[in-house]
Amino acid sequence: MARPEMTDDEFTRIQRDAIRILFLIDAGASALTDADAVHAPADAAGILRSETRLQKLDFWMRNPDYLADELLDEYQAGLRPNGLDIVRGILESEEPDLRRYPMIRFKFGAFEPLTEPLSLLRSFGFVEIWRAGDALKGVRETTYFLLKAGRQAAADMAARFSVLQWYRERAALVVSVAGDMTATELKERQYKRQEYASTELRAVIPPITARVKTRFESLRKGAAA
Amino acid sequence: MSAGGIEEWLSAIAARAEASPEAVEGVLAKHAIRPSIAPPRPRALRIERIAFSGTKIIHGAETPFAFAWDLGPGLWCVASHDNLVGKSTVLHLVLWALRGEPPRGLQADVRSWIRSFAVGMRIDDERLTVEVALPNGEAKGRVRRLNLDGSTTELGTFETARAFSETMAALMMERLGLEPIPYRMKFPGSDDGRTVFAAWPAYAMSLYFGDRHELLLGDNPHGNLPGRMLEMFVGVSWAATSFAAQAAKTQNEQELRNAERRAKEDRAQRLAGLEMLEQELAAARAHLETFADVAEVSRDLDRTVAEIGALSVAATDLAAQEAQATDVVETARRAWTAWRKRLREIEEAQAAQQYFQLLQPRFCPRCHRGIADADYAREHAEHACSVCAGPMPEGDPADFQAELETTRANEAEARQVLAEATTAATDVRARLKAAHDALARARARVAELNAQASRAAERHAAERRVIELQARLADRRQLIDAGRSDPDRAESRILAAAAAETDRRARAAEATLFDALNEQIIDLAKRFGVAAVERARIDRSARLKVWKGGAAAMNYGDLTPGERVRLRLATVIALLRVGQRLGLGRHPGLVLVDSPGSEETREGDVAALLGEINALTTELPHLQVLVASAQPEIVTRAVDPARLRLAGPGETLW
């Protein structure tokens, strides 16, 4: 029995997902602590905890309108004075249409398996994954180690391909919006969006572009006044 | 004169008036203008008896009295030494009986004394008696004719003064062949007047010469009455006709004048009304012009409503086009977005491939086994994957360039499609907006037109007002035009012609008569003692001029009272003389003279006058002159004592 063939389209999609995830882990990974070093590969350059957190960050990568809404929250809260300018850039470049990759809502929120892109990243020695069980909690936590080759690859790709530069910048923005919030806190934050929360299980989380545009316009006018 | 004279008269009037003989006869009949060409036959009136009775009340003493006096033709005289002893009463009662009304000169106390009176008279061969009783001062009585066999015939009775007067007027006018004389009584301060008729009382007063001698004949100066009585007495042919024609003409002229004045006033009033109407009409027209034309509004409304229908259809169609265009734009936008997204993805994939293909896998992603140099060598030599040992893909790795170009072309086309769709949508939106704007304008216009149409009743009223005023104006103009047209003056022309033609004939007829009359007057005036009189001329107005001793002509009014009474007598007797000679004239031959010469100091003149009169009575058998005198000694010298009633000193006549 022959092995199933993977189409070029599927392969290139996996490659693009892998690049996005690499930039995201690169941006979101924090420095290794001494405790982390126990499990970390020798060439680890940083650590990003929990698959849930990675999924929440990726949701904002794939849904620029939801990210813009968070930025407007921060602008209104006075936490991000340049929030309106960033949102204007997102809306004017039509990112909510051109860079939207919708996700399905599951029990714990938006989720899409990242097995294939992560395998690709692992095969080149960019990322290492460590799953650890916690007997007391009864759950397994996934930890992503960014390897030195992975950090170098992200820097190389951003420098060499202008079309990939966006991922590096956007990943940095998404991480800055997430701050040091835990995965649970991020999940709760994302659930505050009416459209997100009201999406049925296993249904596509709908765009909120129109509402964000309206909100942006009213805030812009308020700022201009 | 003959019947031909009448026809000639009628045709002369017709010719002068430029009218048909029929029209002339119609007008003459209407105004009672009758030809009077038959020569009047002289009638003789003579008093045969005067009788009266009553009770005198002097200083409270009542004294019954009765007077009776039988008379014949010639000169008769009643005289007394003292005044106020009733000599004038005798003449007054004669006048009363003749006229049926008492003369002004009859004193009230004397009148109240008289209980009854009777006057016998003869008119030619007819003998009449007027019997009057005055039980309460009111005259009651009768007129009887004494027949030859001694019987009497009652000709009339009367119970009132008025009936007495009317009875005598009818009787005397008919028997004396006299005609009423029409003359104009002018209204005070006006050219207008009315035609009145002088009849028997006026004639009768011309028989009486009382104490006033202002006029040659009678006592009424109005309407040339003395002159007309003169013409009647003389017996001028056409005189009566001439008077009637003249009166009718004057009356007609007055009526025309009044009609013209009224027409002028009416016309002025109508013209004023016309001006007012014209102003009203102008105002009404101006008011009407503030309204739009109803038909125009209606047409405009229909047009606009139709326009709304068409615009609605167009707008609905455009709205559908717009929805479709919007769909097209959205679809095009989605397509363009999809192509742009795809283009980016390919660019990213190309970058990824370029990067990843240079890398060599270091671990199996599944088992994490390291890839050894031998594995790479085998891959190179045997085309077996260094990771999974499967056969390596043939040829070059996926070439994104062709897909990139295709996608770019598709993206460009999609962009173009979107641009075109956007332009089309913008265009159809602009057209839709234009249609909506036009609809809004048309609806506003309809509302405006409906508002105008709702004023239709008001406009109708304004229209009606204009029409009504036009009609009234036309009526008024017609009235004014009618008023402007000259009244038919044919009647006036005929009357004027009749007056002129008749007057011409009367003048012709009287010319010889007046010459004869003047001749007789001068002769008689000389005999009656008017000093140095050489020439006299009486005209048809009974104005008498005399020339004395080479001096300038003197008017009758400038003469002394004595001269005037002589000229009056001379005129009457001249009339009788001319009449007797020519067998015409109407003077009845009775003259009542009260106190002749009372103004004079020279007794001889009065005696001479009476003597002359007495002498004339033999020449003129129909002449009867009754004289009342306060100078018995003069009277006794001139009058036959048998014809004299005399009251001596201290005596009364009755």
Are A94 and B363 in contact (CB < 8 Å)?
Answer: no
Q: Is the model's pLDDT at B599 over the cut of 70?
A: no
Residues B353 and B376: their CA atoms lie apart, in Å, by 19
Both tokens assigned to B398:
């996926």
Are A119 and B365 in contact (CB < 8 Å)?
Answer: yes
Q: Which of B341, B344, B359 sits opposite A163 (nearest CB)?
A: B344
Residues B144 and B136: their CA atoms lie apart, in Å, by 22
Residues of chain A neighbouring B345 (CB-CB closer than 8 A): 12, 16
Are A122 and B356 in contact (CB < 8 Å)?
Answer: no
**Residue A157: what pLDDT?**
92
Summarised one tens digit per residue, pLDDT across range B538-565 is 888 888 888 888 788 888 888 888 888 8
Q: Is the model's pLDDT at B219 over the cut of 90?
A: no
Q: How far is B395 from chain A (nearest CA, A)?
A: 14
**Residue A34: what pLDDT?**
82
Give strand pairing partners of B153.
B145
Q: Is the model's pLDDT at B2 over the cut of 50?
A: no
Neighbours of A87 (CB within 10 A): 26
Phi-psi domain of A218 (left: phi exceeds 0; alpha: psi -120 through 50; beta: other): alpha
Summarised one tens digit per residue, pLDDT across range A162-197 is 999 999 999 999 999 999 888 888 888 888 888 888
Highest-confidence segment of B11-25, B71-85, B390-404: B11-25
* Amino acid, res. B277: L
For residue B101, give the nearest of B128, B79, B130 by alpha carbon: B130
In which band, very low, low, confident or very high, does the pLDDT at B312 lie, cut at 50, 70 and 90? very high
Beta-carbon contacts of residue B598 (< 8 Å; ≥ 6 apart): B211, B630, B631
Are A98 and B365 in contact (CB < 8 Å)?
Answer: no
Distance of CA B175 to the CA centre of its chain: 44
Q: What's the rounded mean pLDDT across residues B189-215?
A: 81
Are A161 and B355 in contact (CB < 8 Å)?
Answer: yes
**Residue A138: what pLDDT?**
63
Which positions in chain A have a beta carbon within 8 angstroms of at least one beta carbon in chain B?
3, 8, 11-13, 15-16, 18-19, 94, 97-99, 119-120, 122-125, 153, 156-157, 160-161, 163-164
Q: Is the model's pLDDT at B601 over the cut of 60?
A: no
**Residue A48: what pLDDT?**
92
**Residue A1: what pLDDT?**
43
Q: What's the rounded mean pLDDT across residues B384-407?
A: 78
- Substitution target in A14, A98, A147, A170 with the highest count of B β-carbons within 10 Å is A98
Whether the Cβ atoms of residue B89 and residue B110 lie closer than 8 Å to each other: yes
Phi-psi domain of B484 (left: phi exceeds 0; alpha: psi -120 through 50; beta: other): alpha
**Residue A137: what pLDDT?**
66
Neighbours of B623 (CB within 10 A): 25
Residues of chain B neighbouring A164 (CB-CB closer than 8 A): 348, 351
In which band, very low, low, confident or very high, does the pLDDT at B260 lie, cut at 50, 70 and 90? confident
The mean predicted confidence, pLDDT, of chain A is: 88
Are B356 and A15 in contact (CB < 8 Å)?
Answer: yes
Residues B349 and B355: their CA atoms lie apart, in Å, by 10
Residues of chain B neighbouring A19 (CB-CB closer than 8 A): 348, 352
Q: How far is B425 from chain A (nearest CA, A)?
A: 21
Residues A71 and A86: their CA atoms lie apart, in Å, by 8
Summarised one tens digit per residue, pLDDT across range B5-23 is 888 898 899 999 888 888 8
* Sign of the dihedral defined by the CA atoms of residues B508, B510, B511, B516, in that order: positive
Residues of chain A neighbouring B361 (CB-CB closer than 8 A): 123-124
Q: How far is A189 from chain B (nearest CA, A)?
A: 29
Beta-carbon contacts of residue A115 (< 8 Å; ≥ 6 apart): none
Q: How far is A67 from chain B (nearest CA, A)?
A: 19
Residue A7: closest C-alpha in chain B? B398
Q: How far is B347 from chain A (nearest CA, A)?
A: 7
Residues B536 and A34: their CA atoms lie apart, in Å, by 188
Residue B348: closest C-alpha in chain A? A163
- Substitution target in A3, A8, A17, A101 with the highest count of B β-carbons within 10 Å is A8
**Residue A42: what pLDDT?**
85
Q: Is the model's pLDDT at A41 over the cut of 70?
A: yes
Are B364 and A123 in contact (CB < 8 Å)?
Answer: yes
Q: How many pairs of residues across A and B have Cβ atoms under 8 Å apart?
A: 65
Q: What's the rounded mean pLDDT across residues B56-70?
A: 90
Q: Is the model's pLDDT at A201 over the cut of 90?
A: no
Give B206-267 as a 3 state SS string. CCEECCCCCCCCCCCCHHHHHHHHHHHHHCCCCHHHHHHHHHHHHHHHHHHHHHHHHHHHHH
Q: Is the model's pLDDT at A46 over the cut of 70?
A: yes
In chain A, the N- to C-terminal Cα span, in Å, equals 70
**Proportion of chain B above pLDDT 90, given as a percent:** 29
In which band, very low, low, confident or very high, does the pLDDT at B84 lie, cut at 50, 70 and 90? low
Residues B606 and B405: their CA atoms lie apart, in Å, by 175
Q: Is the model's pLDDT at B308 over the cut of 70?
A: yes
Residues of chain A neighbouring B354 (CB-CB closer than 8 A): 161
Question: Which residue did the predictor score with more confidence, B80 or A210?
Answer: A210
Are B348 and A122 in contact (CB < 8 Å)?
Answer: no
Summarised one tens digit per residue, pLDDT across range B87-140 is 889 999 999 999 998 888 888 888 889 999 999 999 999 999 999 999 887 889
Tally of CA atoms within 13 A in the half-sphere of A131 that contains its CB = 3
Residues of chain A neighbouring B359 (CB-CB closer than 8 A): 124
The mean predicted confidence, pLDDT, of chain B is: 86
In which band, very low, low, confident or very high, does the pLDDT at B420 lie, cut at 50, 70 and 90? very high
Q: Which of B337, B353, B359 sits opposite A98 (nearest CB)?
A: B337
Give B342-399 as a 3 state SS string. HHHHHHHHHHHHHHHCCCCCCECCCCCCECCHHHHHHHHHHCECCCCCCECCCCCCCC
**Residue B1: what pLDDT?**
43
Summarised one tens digit per residue, pLDDT across range A8-17 is 778 888 889 9
Whether the Cβ atoms of residue B92 and residue B80 lie closer than 8 Å to each other: no
Q: What angle do CA B649, B650, B653 make, to 5 degrees?
A: 90
**Residue B600: what pLDDT?**
64
Summarised one tens digit per residue, pLDDT across range B134-193 is 988 788 999 999 998 989 999 999 999 889 999 999 999 888 888 888 877 777 777 777
Q: How far is A2 from chain B (nearest CA, A)?
A: 10
Q: What's the rounded mean pLDDT across residues A199-205?
A: 87
Bridging pattern class, strands B193-198 and B208-209: unpaired
The CA-atom distances, in angstroms, between B626 and each of B183, B524, B560, B637 are 30, 18, 23, 16
Q: In terms of residues, how long is chain A?
A: 225
Between helix A51-62 and helix A162-178 the angle, nearest 10°, is 120
Please name the helix (run of DSSP H) or strand (run of DSSP E) that holds residue A128, with its range, or none: strand A127-134
Residue A16: closest C-alpha in chain B? B349
Bridging pattern class, strands B61-70 and B45-58: antiparallel
Give strand pairing partners of B127.
B122, B146
- This complex has an ipTM of 0.90
Whether the Cβ atoms of residue A198 and residue A58 lie closer than 8 Å to each other: no
**Residue B85: what pLDDT?**
64
Residues A93 and A100: their CA atoms lie apart, in Å, by 12
Summarised one tens digit per residue, pLDDT across range B463-496 is 899 999 999 888 888 877 765 556 667 888 899 9
Q: Which of B352, B361, B388 sits opposite A15 (nearest CB)?
A: B352
In which band, very low, low, confident or very high, does the pLDDT at B267 lie, cut at 50, 70 and 90? confident
Both tokens assigned to B182:
């029409």
In which band, very low, low, confident or very high, does the pLDDT at A99 lie, cut at 50, 70 and 90? very high
Q: How far is B456 from chain A (nearest CA, A)?
A: 54
Range scoring the smallest mean pLDDT among A200-209, A213-222, B353-362? B353-362
Residues A71 and A83: their CA atoms lie apart, in Å, by 6
Residues of chain B neighbouring A119 (CB-CB closer than 8 A): 365-366
Q: Is the model's pLDDT at A2 over the cut of 70?
A: no
